Structure 1
Amino acid sequence: MLRKIIGMTAALLAMSTVPAVAEPEAGLLPAPTGPHKVGVTTLHLVDHQRTDPWPDAVGKPRELVVSVHYPARSVRGYPVAPQMTPQAAAVFGQLDAVYGHPELPKSGVDWAATKTHSHVGAPALPGRRPVLLYSTGGGDPRTINTALAEDLASRGFVVVSMDHPGETSEVEFPDGRVRTIALPEDPRVKPAIFRDMIAVRLTDTKFVLDQLEVLAAGGNPDAAGRELPRDLARSLDLRRIGMYGHSAGGTTASQAMYDDPRIDAAVNLEGHLDYAVEPGKPGELLPVARDGVDRPLFLVGTDGYLDDRYRTSWAAMLSHGPRTRHHQISHATHWVFTDFAPMTEAFVNARLMPEQDRVKLVGEIRAERSVPVVRDLVGAFFQRTLRR
């Protein structure tokens, strides 16, 4: 599967629009539930001290793109952000929706048409806010967990969502370049690639935290020095930092907290805590699961995505005592933590995908139940652990 994805890269980069379909359907994102309006901006960060590890960018500096969602003082006059830009959506619709998640509709969806509830460049609400980092699931772009980031921002957090270029379906840079997946082999069946992938993600996380320190000190870490939203720098309280992630991002969040004392609490949304020796079989525990950690960690899983790796590595993590807690969502599976939960329900209603494919992705649980459950689990955990 991964070789098919990589082989499509050149052709997809030449595309600028999704092929025309009759009355394309837009996905729907649920509105945030917190008291604050939400602003959003994008930062292009370049690590000149590190070269990119993946084959399509050998010898080049490591480049990252992050979205920052934050409580806004006012949103009047500031445009609503799309979930994906047209160019990123074109690649996602042909690459991720066809090969990465074959359950998704092959046609009939305008991936660029989904609007968020965030306003581009709106001024930040005065006051220091806890900061949350988000790391994506393997292969998924950061945009596929927009609704949770928006909800957390509406509750008073500054949320910094990272892509990990080279191992996600697509990342669009501010100059219009779109970088697609470039892993040499599939990390699900090649443990050495998974190990390398997590190592890169951990270094990405440290670098982003370093750049947030630059921002909070009044600097502008954006590679092109683009104008930042008013008062954004003064909204960051780097004395209170949490991190959450889905799948490989959950692995990253857990280990990053172990490695970096700046991270005070973490949520792992169904990420393995070991390095597998073969698919589905337990392997060497990550240091965080082997040794435990002295800060709060919340493991959130589903009853539909269990294997021996989860059972063994999560049991090891939980054995270290009450700092680590666990919750399981019933009638759900792996991508219930993402925007696919509400979006696939809309696609089923529009007869663009069968119900059984929705269940494969997110489980039998309906979005009206799963969305508030995930939001409340993550939001309440950070409200409790990051309060002064």
Structure 2
Amino acid sequence: MPRFPQPTGSYQIGTRTYHWVDTSRSEPFTTNLHDRRELMVQVWYPAQVAQNAQTVPYLVYPEAAEVWAARFHVPAFLVSTMARARTHAVADALPASGRFPVLLNPTGFGGFRDASLFWIEHLVSHGYVVVGLDQPGTAAATVFPDGRVIPMLDQPTFERYMPLALSHTADQAPVMNGVALPGGIIPFLVKDLQFSLSQLGMLDRHDVLLAGHLDTTRLGVFGMSLGGYIGPELCRVDARFRACLTVDAGTTAAVAQSGLYQPVMIISRDASTMREERSRAGGWPENEIAHTVSSQRMLFGRSHADAYFLTMNTMYHLNWTDAPILTPLMSWIGLAGPIDPYRGFAATNAYTVAFFDQYLKGQLSMLLRRPSPDWPEVKLIRRVGK
């Protein structure tokens, strides 16, 4: 049974799930042009939890777990174990007093909204509201309350709408199922987050539980892989977001060219580590490695506010998800890096909280100013904004 790390902050954790429909946009991931864009959204928030309260299971719907297991060649019987694992969150718990900064967390391709629960729960325990999204077409499987399921795209189709493929074509407004996607899939997914922000504003005014607790003047975004592409593009087009953390992902051409005006933290690894992962278990081809590394460096070098580049060469791509603790097969078949998974989680969490505390709470952190003896495996480069 997976064991999620104990959050270290002073807050307990509540969670609440929503089904939102954006009536202004068509759904490109179905064949019916009349379908509107729908999202399944989970909000985790600082809470007052009764002693011995029952916590929610890791996965409510087995469909996402089954897709995830098939993608990484994990035996199907492990899915039921993943689904039964208990988290530290209590459904619809009474919120803690106060207003809390809000962090949006778009998921990676083929993931699900709590695929990096180690990250989410830690942030909430330190006084943040975290919003996770199942975005139809890119989440492993988006399951709606009425039982409808939108599966993820097949990977070759998905890659045709990503920045690397678009950089080699003159067509910058591809079409999917009759829906134009100017700039490819990333700008469309960014609009999911902007729509979610409008819904969060309504929750802060009217929700029976969360009204008065969501401080949407202190907004940040964090994500890895596909989520790491979405976050910087969101910050480029929407100045309401005040801090951006991106993990193991490239960027859109626009982000690489212009940088960001918000503080940004990039967490990744050297190209040599990416190649090492590929040699052990498969991974990114050489052109994707080159695109990822070069666009990260451009984002770091061209950003206008404070910028941080963290290199963690003992981590592989899936070490920034819960995958290494869901089954030991991740390490055995080479999909997890040589670092102890819980140490990788702890390092990621330490720098994430330090970053958002500094830029959303005004709490200066020495961890962001120089290399830390606590984390010798982390290489930190810092640029002070103009």
TM superposition score category, shorter chain reference:
0.7 to 0.9
Pick from 87, 99, 103 the counterpart of residue 128 of structure 1: 99
SS of 1:92's equivalent in the other structure is helix
| CA offsets 1:284-336 (integer angstroms, 9 cap, x no match) | x2x22211221101110134336101221112112225622100112111111
Describe how 1:167-186 pairs up with structure 2 within 5 A: 167-182=138-153, 185-186=156-157
From 70, 77, 80, the counterpart of 2:45: 70
Alignment partner for residue 332 of structure 2, among 351, 356, 361?
356
Q: Secondary structure at the match of 1:242?
A: strand
Pairing partner for 2:325 from 342, 345, 350: 342
- Residues 131-174 of structure 1 show CA distances to partners (whole Å, capped at 9, x for unaligned) of 00001011111121122111100000000111211222112223
Quote the Cα distance in structure 2 between the aligned partners of 1:249 and 1:107.
28
Q: Is the 8 A contact 1:130 1:238 kept in 2?
A: yes
Given that 2:5 and 2:118 are in contact with CA atoms closer than 8 Å, whether structure 1 keeps it comes out as yes
Contact kept in structure 2, 1:78 and 1:122, CA below 8 Å: no
After superposition, what is the alpha-carbon deviation per residue over 1:183-206, rounded to whole angstroms, capped at 9, x for unaligned?
A: 694323563579532122111011
- CA distance in 2 between partners of 1:203 and 1:42 (Å): 20
Q: Per-residue displacement from partner, 1:307-366 (whole Å, max 9, x unpaired)? A: 1012211121122256221001121111111111322xxx32xxxx37432x32x21111
Distance 2:330 2:53 in 1: 37
**Counterpart of 1:105 in structure 2: which amino acid?**
P
Q: Is the 8 A contact 1:135 1:244 kept in 2?
A: yes
- Is contact 1:81–1:118 with CA below 8 Å preserved after alignment? yes
Q: Per the alignment, do residues 368 and 183 of structure 1 end up closer, same or farther by CA in structure 2, a change over 3 Å counting?
A: closer
Q: Shift in Å at residue 68 of structure 1?
A: 0.5
Say whether residues 1:265 and 2:243 are aligned partners.
Answer: yes
Counterpart selection for 1:375 from 344, 349, 372: 349
In structure 2, the residue matched to 1:324 is 307
Contact residue 49 and residue 61 of structure 1 kept, 8 A: yes
Which residue of 2 is the match for residue 288 of structure 1? 255
Q: 2:295 aligns with which of 303, 308, 313?
A: 313
> Tell me, which stretches of 5 or more residues in structure 2 are unaligned?
167-173, 175-180, 276-288, 363-386
What is the number of residues matched between the two proteins?
Answer: 328
**Structure 1 CA distance for aligned equivalents of residues 346 and 227 of structure 2:** 21
> Is the aligned partner of 1:239 residue 2:213?
no
1:96 to 64, 68, 76: 68
SS at 1:67's partner residue?
strand
SS at match of 2:157: coil
Separation (CA, whole Å) in 1 of partners of 2:21 and 2:53: 27
Shift of the 58–139 alpha-carbon distance from structure 1 to 2, 3 Å rule, reads: farther
TM-score normalised per structure 1: 0.79
2:16 pairs with one of 41, 49, 68: 41
TM-score (norm 2): 0.79
1:71: Cα distance to partner?
0.6
- Is 1:250 the equivalent of 2:237? no
Q: Is the 8 A contact 1:78 1:120 kept in 2?
A: no
Partner of 1:187: 158
Higher relative contact order (CA closer than 8 Å, sequence separation 6+): 1
CA distance, structure 2, for counterparts of residue 366 and residue 154 of structure 1: 22
Equivalent residue for 2:108, pick from 131, 134, 137: 137
CA contact (8 A) 2:59 2:83 kept: yes
Specify the SS of the correspondent of 1:176. coil
2:6 is the counterpart of 1:31: yes
Hey, what's the Cα distance between the residues in 1 that align with 2:75 and 2:30?
Answer: 30
Contact kept, 8 Å, 2:324 with 2:330, in 1: the verdict is: no
**In 1, Cα distance between equivalents of 2:18 and 2:29:** 21
Q: Percent identity?
A: 27
Alpha carbons of structure 1 residues 242 and 108: separation in structure 2 relative to 1, 3 Å: closer
Determine if contact 1:73/1:124 at 8 Å carries over to the other structure. yes
**Which of the residues 108, 111, 133 maps onto 1:162?**
133
Partner SS, residue 313 of structure 1: helix
Structure 1 residues 208-230: Cα deviation after superposition (integer angstroms, max 9, x where no partner): 011111122x234xxxxxxx43x
334-343 or 69-78, larger mean C-alpha shift: 69-78
Report the aligned-residue RMSD: 2.1
What displacement does 1:79 show?
A: 2.9
Q: How many Å separate the matches in 2 of 1:77 and 1:319?
A: 49
Match of 1:147 among 101, 108, 118: 118
Whether contact under 8 Å (2:187, 2:233) holds in the other structure is: no
| Paired amino acid for 1:34 | G
Work out whether residues 49 and 90 of structure 2, in 8 Å CA contact, stay in contact via their aligned partners in 1: no
Is this contact kept in 1: 2:27–2:37, CA < 8 A? yes
Paired position in structure 2 for 1:84: 59
Distance 1:93 1:311, change over 3 A: closer
- Match of residue 380 from structure 2: none
